[in-house]
Amino acid sequence: MGTAKFSIGQVVRHRLFDFRGVIFDVDPEFNNTEAWYQAIPEEMRPRKDQPFYHLLAENEETEYVAYVSEQNLLVDESGLPVRHPQLAEFFIETADGHYTPRERLHH
């Protein structure tokens, strides 16, 4: 298991599918259900022993939360703002268009 290549607040895009988003959490390795994993076509199924990222994701039609393996992410260099409606709950947008995590209250 390696170190996560991407960081919280970073804008990324999917390597194969047309969506992008802001990372709001990272799992050091796969941490979702086996049913979720098995639903991915076998030829596209990522390795479990790599970081997985939780994204506030969007495509042209909608916004949603995505769970994506590191091998399927690339840095989004479009410079376009992310429009996800939950973005303000997690991040503050800086003057240079980056996203800084908000201080979270932990229970």
pLDDT per residue over 16-39, tens digit each?
A: 999 999 999 999 999 999 999 999
Assess if residue 107 is contained within a domain: no
Does position 98 have pLDDT exceeding 70, yes or no? yes
Does position 106 have pLDDT exceeding 90, yes or no? no
State if pTM tops 0.75: yes
Q: Across the chain, what does the average pLDDT equal?
A: 93
How high is the pLDDT of residue 45? 95
Q: Which letter, b or e, does each residue of 15-46 get, where b requires 16 or more Cβ atoms within 10 Å of its Cβ?
A: eeeebbbbbbebeeebeeeeeeeeeeeeeeee
Assess if residue 55 is contained within a domain: yes
Does position 105 have pLDDT exceeding 90, yes or no? no
Question: Domain count of the chain?
Answer: 1
Domain that holds residue 42: 11-101
Residues of the chain with pLDDT > 70: what percent? 94
Assess if residue 4 is contained within a domain: no
60: burial class by Cβ within 10 Å (0-12, 13-18, 19+)?
A: exposed
pLDDT in tens, 61-83: 999 999 999 999 999 999 898 99
Q: Are 14 and 68 in contact (CB under 8 A)?
A: yes
Assess if residue 88 is contained within a domain: yes
